Chain A
Amino acid sequence: MDKIEAARYLGMKPDDLNERTEALIEKCALKLEGVIAPKHIYAVFDIKTKNQKVIFPDFEIDSNALSKHLEKCDEAILFAATLGADVDRLMMSASYTDISEAAVMQACAAVMIEEYCDSVMETLVDGENNKFLKPRFSPGYGDFSTSYQRKILDILKAPVKIGLCVTDGDMLVPSKSVTAVIGITDEKSGCNINKCASCGNLFCVFRKE
């Protein structure tokens, strides 16, 4: 797990890390590694983009940002991944025994789910038959409403298959989880869009420069 990235989530730059904080991050990462049960599920669909919408065979997503992101794609992957429920239990328990661990675990687990998604994406079609993957684009980025999380999970049968559900308030549970749309394109260039760059929350403390 990338400790520097975890520190960034905790509002620290690489130079701010001292020995004790680093040790705490390592300790929390180790505890998390003992309980994570990462799982993912995905499916590929033919898509079209039109009038600020992304049109899938049986449904549409109304989002200008996503539509722009997928402009040159004729296929897209619906993707969902989770670190599992035990991570939430561990973090809840830490919030009673040691609040510093609880906070650091949040950061570590956030890094771990991203790293897991990255590792899964590496095994997907990237480069095969001259097809390339665009970066993950998740509900909540730009005008891609979080309410689409339910639709994505339903289509993938994620509650049954990987135990990933959504609350009435559109929150993913277990909490360290991701849903995303990943475009598939013939063009290799233009893929490395920083996902922060496409987010409207310009003042987010976690925004990458």
Chain B
Amino acid sequence: MSFKERLGKEILFFDGAMGTMLQSAGLLAGELPDIWCVTNSEKVRDIHVSYLEAGCNIVKTNTFGCNALKLKDSGYSVKEVAEAGVRVAKEAIELMGDDTTPRFAALDIGPTGKLLKPLGDLEFEKAYELFAQTIEAGAKAGADLVLIETMSDTYELKAAVLAAKTVCNLPVCATVVLDKRGKLLTGASVDAVCALLEGLGVDALGFNCSLGPKEMMQHVKELSKVCSLPIILNPNAGLPREENGKTVFDVNPEEFASLMEEPARETAHLLGGCCGTTPEHIRALVNKCKGITPVQITKKTQTVVSSFTHAVTLDEKPILIGERINPTGKARLKQALREGDYDFVLREGLGQAEKGAHVLDVNAGLPDIDEAEVLKQLVTRLQTVTDLPLQIDTADEKAMEGALRLYNGKPLINSVNGKQESMNAIFPLVKKYGGVVVALTLDESGIPETAQGRVDIARKIIERAGEFGIDKKDIIVDPLTLTVSAGDKNGKVTLEALRRIKQELGVKTSLGVSNVSFGLPRRDLLNSAFFTLALGAGLDAAIMNPYADMMMDAYNSSLTLMGFDEKSEHFIEKYSNTQAQTTVAAGSTMTLTDAILNGLAGDAALLAQKELDDKKAPMEIIEGMMIPALDKAGVGFENGTLFLPQLLMCAEAARSAFDVIKANMGTGTGESRGKVIVATVKGDIHDIGKNIAKSMLENYRFDVIDLGKDVDSEKIVQAAIKHGAKLVGLSALMTTTVVNMEKTIKELREKLPECAIMVGGAVLTSEHAEKIGADIFTGDAMAGVRFAEYIYGTEK
């Protein structure tokens, strides 16, 4: 029987630690263990044999660090080492002769050793390629399965699993490392990891390293509650401890075996060891647990989406999907997407999170932009700043696939419908990347007018999904909201369809609630009433505007009335003694200038609105009230009477006032004083200095094009040419990256001799700046503004 046939039906045993054994065989500190597959293959084989003799079924090849990055200077190729690793393991298995014990060689895949973007500097696709290269070689060499292990970042984990599923047909197992919090080092919870891995279609999953069997117990129980796959448990021999400068593990073989018995009986199907475990540990484990009939795996029915930190489960309590990142009918967002002003979009995302959204819808559907590219950018950037799961919303398959691939978690997918074409396009993507898909009840004949018609389409979609291997827990049906202004019964039909789909088909539901009121006055009244009715009918996920107070009030009130608010505590906390401040308190003498000078962002926004309400022209507000405040703060900073935190608080207050003016006036907020390109140079990923400079420049109404961090010199040059910028600002924090700053300056001088260049960063000085060819060293937050004013000839 193959590995896959045995999986989950009998207890299978992994081997124990490889690194510890190699060290006792003479591996030096800092030496790459993997090349021993080639240089000391008999020693590696002996270790495999000792584990097989101890009774294990699966040996992990000595290829944990076998990737092109780690082998770069080793003199050995990935192919060479991966092949040797598999060959040695298979030789060991052959040496055991023909008996009835099943034995397999697992191609062992460890992390790259690099942190992926945005936290680190490794591109997702680069990580994917590194894994694909090793896995392809190992699979061709005859591995029986792939074990992706010791993963502590969901994004890297996704890259590895995708690679394994793409380049070979072997079973794929994956184990992650938990810290004492029961989370991955990069913050993901157990249920988030499970949702991601199940979505990607692994065959078994679990934990290894870091913790001992005792500490893992609670987490494996947690995992078994949400997991529908066989569970792997490869703990250390206890928690590591330092003794005379060496790491030691305290759990002896007998104790280890005893501690593993409970999971063998109750939760796990594959057991073995990690750091500190020896063939003796595995022998004791096999003796203790061999013959135990493993627990039967139950298919879980929860509908779960996840981000890189947490899972959102659609159980009884309805959730909110923020709809604001969708350009339809939103002039300011359209403008932002066209101009590549992602900061605005990110603030929309963060704002909705603050208001209480559980998931964010992301849509970049504008006819005149490259939707696929913009959607990728949005997903990548949003998952940098918010931990909410995303709902990828596009009608363009290419854009959908691109975004699903880069999403760090198990997303909501918006949407599929009952048309064959749609199902044939979307279901393979759901199967490949994982996700919960929103199914719209329409097909080739349009949207049925009756509830029955919509139930029928929903049923058809669920059945067709089943043919692709997609479970109905991964489908949310949207019975479609049509405006009542186009048909008196529209609201009623939707509610009836919603109720019946839930009851008859047993799936979760969602609705774009606010569509109900198109074309009618006081849409807020209709929307919130319809929302309440839909919640009553069993709505599970509402796509809505979290900024709409009446909608949030309807939601919060309904939760309390539906029994989701113990002792009404949430409601009381939310609504007693709170009167939302939407206008400036009467009798207040504070001016907008005061608010900015004192760094009061909330007041500044309210006062800007008040000035607009009083019919003051935007330019008058900006020139007459805001700029003088900013100038005073800037001069104070330059004179040393005001410090960086205070200056930035003023900047933040000014920005919130600008936002109000922009939202009211669209683009008519006056001429920009000039374009400035800013970037942190290649190799450098610290951008606080650049961000401060940008924030100040924007407040002084310079049009700042922010290229981000770790930016290629070529990209900077191209942006400067494209935007016709007379000024480029570069930032570098490390001596090692100033080299790239110099390179960028050189290229800018060649292509754009007339363009001025200012530089900043902790390791720079005026002399150094001059030496590398910059025009000026801007050492603090105001210096950049002053130089930009000088260059554009607008200084006062």
A in complex with B:
yes
Task: Tell me the A residues contacting B by CB distance below 8 Å.
Answer: 10-12, 16, 18, 20-21, 24-25, 37, 39, 42-45, 57-59, 75, 77, 84-86, 88-89, 91-93, 95-100, 102-104, 106, 146-147, 151, 154-155, 159-163, 165, 167-171, 173-175, 201, 203-204
Residues of A within 8 A of B185 (CB): 37, 39, 84-85, 162-163
Q: Which residue of B lies closest to A152 (CB)?
A: B30
| B612 at the binding interface (Cβ < 8 Å) | no
- Please measure, in the bound complex, the distance between the C-alpha atom of A159 and the C-alpha atom of B186, giving whole angstroms: 11
Q: Would you call B692 and A103 a contact (CB within 8 A)?
A: yes
Q: Would you call A37 and B181 a contact (CB within 8 A)?
A: yes
- Please measure, in the bound complex, the distance between the C-alpha atom of A203 and the C-alpha atom of B687, giving whole angstroms: 21
Q: Would you call A100 and B645 a contact (CB within 8 A)?
A: yes
Task: Tell me the B residues contacting A by CB distance below 8 Å.
Answer: 28-31, 110-111, 113-115, 118-121, 150, 152-153, 177, 179, 181, 183, 185-187, 209-210, 242, 244-247, 343, 346-347, 350, 384-387, 598-599, 601, 643-646, 648-649, 651-652, 655, 682-688, 691-692, 695, 733-737, 740, 762-763, 765
Q: Would you call B736 and A159 a contact (CB within 8 A)?
A: no
Check A85/B187 contact, CB under 8 A, given A160-B209, A173-B685.
yes
Chain A CB count within 10 A is highest, among B347, B652, B682, B733, for B652
CB distance from A120 to the nearest CB of B (A): 11
CB distance from B781 to the nearest CB of A (A): 9
Residues of A within 8 A of B177 (CB): 160
Q: Would you call A11 and B652 a contact (CB within 8 A)?
A: no
CB distance from B590 to the nearest CB of A (A): 15
Residues of B within 8 A of A159 (CB): 111, 113-115
Check A85/B119 contact, CB under 8 A, given A11-B643, A163-B186, A171-B734.
yes
Q: Which residue of A lies closest to B244 (CB)?
A: A44
Q: Would you call B350 and A97 a contact (CB within 8 A)?
A: yes
Check A58/B28 contact, CB under 8 A, given A20-B599, A165-B115.
yes
User: Can you offer 6 A-B residue contacts whose CB atoms are under 8 A?
Assistant: A16-B643, A25-B645, A59-B29, A85-B185, A100-B649, A146-B734
Chain A CB count within 10 A is highest, among B120, B150, B691, B692, for B120
Q: Which residue of A lies closest to B739 (CB)?
A: A169
Q: Which residue of B lies closest to A57 (CB)?
A: B29
- Please measure, in the bound complex, the distance between the C-alpha atom of A43 and the C-alpha atom of B111, giving whole angstroms: 22
Chain A CB count within 10 A is highest, among B114, B387, B649, B762, for B649
Q: Would you call A160 and B152 a contact (CB within 8 A)?
A: yes
Q: Would you call A24 and B179 a contact (CB within 8 A)?
A: no
Q: Would you call B735 and A168 a contact (CB within 8 A)?
A: no
**Given A104-B645, A168-B683, 7 more pairs with CB closer than 8 A:** A21-B646, A24-B645, A37-B183, A39-B179, A167-B121, A171-B684, A175-B686
CB distance from B637 to the nearest CB of A (A): 10
Q: Would you call A10 and B347 a contact (CB within 8 A)?
A: no
Check A103/B644 contact, CB under 8 A, given A160-B177, A163-B186, A173-B121.
yes
Q: Which residue of B lies closest to A84 (CB)?
A: B185
CB distance from B29 to the nearest CB of A (A): 5
Check A42/B209 contact, CB under 8 A, given A12-B643, A169-B734.
no
Q: Would you call B763 and A201 a contact (CB within 8 A)?
A: yes
Check A170/B245 contact, CB under 8 A, given A10-B644, A20-B646.
no
Residues of B within 8 A of A11 (CB): 643-644
Q: Report the 4 A-B pairs with minimum CB-CB distance, sorted nearest first.
A: A44-B245, A163-B185, A169-B683, A100-B648
Residues of A within 8 A of B687 (CB): 95
Residues of B within 8 A of A25 (CB): 645
Residues of A within 8 A of B386 (CB): 93
Residues of B within 8 A of A161 (CB): 210
Q: Identify which of A16, A24, A77, A160 contacts B111 (C-beta below 8 A).
A: A160
- Please measure, in the bound complex, the distance between the C-alpha atom of A155 and the C-alpha atom of B31, giving whole angstroms: 8
Q: Identify which of B121, B387, B649, B692 contacts A168 (C-beta below 8 A).
A: B121
Q: Would you call B187 and A59 a contact (CB within 8 A)?
A: no
CB distance from B291 to the nearest CB of A (A): 34
Q: Would you call A103 and B648 a contact (CB within 8 A)?
A: yes
Q: Would you call A21 and B736 a contact (CB within 8 A)?
A: no
- Please measure, in the bound complex, the distance between the C-alpha atom of A106 and the C-alpha atom of B691, giving whole angstroms: 12
Q: Identify which of B120, B209, B343, B686 contacts A96 (C-beta below 8 A).
A: B343
- Please measure, in the bound complex, the distance between the C-alpha atom of A205 and the C-alpha atom of B706, giving whole angstroms: 26
